[in-house]
């Protein structure tokens, strides 16, 4: 069964400014008359929040890479079926801060589990559905980590404690994904000013969402 909504995800390494970009995009799309759901994984779904606590707990130093990938996929599944799919079926534009590509870059590439292997478990999790458009906010790992270092209010989670070389691998992983999914993933230079980033994203969306709402590429999960 297809739906009428439009599914956008925002991706990037630590400190790329994803959440700010997503909030600006939400306001801009709403101003153009779209009904928008802004969400982030795990997005306030209690089951997924519980899984997230296990994932980000700094005490869980011994977590195996595959366990980590499976838990992210499980949390994604619950958030997807409980929140994303119903909104898409109502014809909304869904804007999600991180989705499958985070797992592909962090677990698939940086952890070395394999992009294809992680894609496979995520296909199982979402029934094969992929975003219509993904914005990759591209910032060098050094600049990104510097930005989050300045934000003292930010909670330091288990993945933030990874080495600089891990974050470099995450960045390389995203660049590989950009090559692999050139139609879906759009690179945005995250060193730009926020207003410029918004303009760049909106011009992509105006071209791709022409004629919306009506029939998008994604379909409901199993
Ligand atoms: P969060 O605080 O949501 O990160 P951010 O503010 O950077 O978006 O923490 C999520 C962490 O989990 C972040 O370090 C990225 C990581 N992550 C994965 O490794 N795989 C995934 O599939 C997702 C969704 C997140």
Q: Per residue in 206-222, pLDDT tens?
A: 999 986 653 344 444 55
What's the CA gap between 125 and 139, in Å, rounded? 29
pTM reported for the whole predicted model: 0.92
Protein residue with least CA distance to atom 1, ligand 1: 157
Tokens of 79: 């958030």
Q: Which alpha helices (H) appear in the chain, and where do they start and end?
A: 18-31, 46-56, 65-79, 85-89, 100-103, 115-126, 141-150, 164-180, 194-208
Ligand 1 atom closest to Cα of 99? 24
CA of 118 to the centre of ligand 1 (A): 15
**Range with the poorest average pLDDT among 2-11, 47-56, 158-167, 184-193:** 158-167
68 Cβ inside 6 Å of ligand 1 = no
- Max Cα distance, the chain (Å): 49
The yes-or-no verdict on residue 157 having pLDDT over 80 is: no
φ, ψ for residue 16, nearest 5 deg: -80, -15
How far apart are the C-alpha atoms of 19 and 25, rounded to whole Å?
10
Cβ of 176 less than 6 Å from ligand 1: no
Fill in the DSSP letter of residue 94. E
Give nearest CA residue, ligand 1 atom 22.
Answer: 103
């Amino acid at each position: 069964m297809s739906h009428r909504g439009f599914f956008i995800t925002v991706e990037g390494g630590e400190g790329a400014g994803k959440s700010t970009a997503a909030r600006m995009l939400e306001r801009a799309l709403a101003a153009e008359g779209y009904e928008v759901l802004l969400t982030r994984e795990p997005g306030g779904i209690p089951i997924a929040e519980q899984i997230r606590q296990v994932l980000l707990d700094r005490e869980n130093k011994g977590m195996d890479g595959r366990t980590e990938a499976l838990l992210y996929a499980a949390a994604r599944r619950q958030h997807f079926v409980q929140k994303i799919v119903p909104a898409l079926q109502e014809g909304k534009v869904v804007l999600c801060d991180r989705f499958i590509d985070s797992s592909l870059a962090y677990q698939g590439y940086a952890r070395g589990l394999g992009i294809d292997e992680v894609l496979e478990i995520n296909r199982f999790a979402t029934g094969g559905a992929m975003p219509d458009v993904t914005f990759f906010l591209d910032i060098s790992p050094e600049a990104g980590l510097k930005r989050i270092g300045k934000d003292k209010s930010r909670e330091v989670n288990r993945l933030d404690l990874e080495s600089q070389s891990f974050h470099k691998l995450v960045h390389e992983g995203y660049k590989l994904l950009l090559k692999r999914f050139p139609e879906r993933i759009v690179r945005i230079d995250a060193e730009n000013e926020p207003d410029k980033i918004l303009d760049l994203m909106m011009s992509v969306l105006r071209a791709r969402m022409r004629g919306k709402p009506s029939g998008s590429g994604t379909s409901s999960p199993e």
